[in-house]
Amino acid sequence: MPLDPPVRALLEGRNFAHVGTIRKDGSPSVVPVWCDTDGEHLILNSAEGRDWPTNLERDPRVAVTVINLEQPYEYTQIRGRVVERTHEDANAVIDSLAKKYLGVDEYPMHQPGERRVTIRIAPDKVYYQNR
């Protein structure tokens, strides 16, 4: 399902995604992360071993809210599921996100031995609000 232009604009901007996942014990977890889109999916990136990607590996359902940092009454909420989880080109994805969010060519916080993972989310339901 292609994302509508205002939703794409929020995802393509320097706005943080608040990613909601379900922990092993059934409790919710929400974390802010960098995001992007290919026009159809949300694109997220993290290091293996962190809680939220581990939660999504066990249960691929996710809720994401992205708020316009310059106009906080404009936001989107996307509910969906993981459709791809890959290590291929994951370092290039985090470098691209670092360029977008920090204005640098390479992600400056790489840790020794860290393995990056890119997660693609297919939206099942999209809500957009702009007051």
Domain coverage including residue 92: 5-130
What mean pLDDT comes out for the span 83-91?
A: 97
Q: What is the CA radius of gyration of the chain?
A: 14
The domain that contains 53 carries what CATH number? 2.30.110.10
What mean pLDDT comes out for the span 22-28?
A: 97
Count structural domains, the chain.
Answer: 1
Looking at the predicted structure, is the pLDDT value of residue 1 above 90? Answer: no
What is the pLDDT confidence band of residue 47, given thresholds at 50, 70 and 90? very high
**pTM: predicted TM-score of the whole model, two decimal places:** 0.94
Distance between CA 52 and CA 10 in Å, rounded? 22
Is residue 56 within 8 Å of 122, Cβ to Cβ?
Answer: no
What is the pLDDT confidence band of residue 2, given thresholds at 50, 70 and 90? confident
What is the pLDDT confidence band of residue 68, given thresholds at 50, 70 and 90? very high
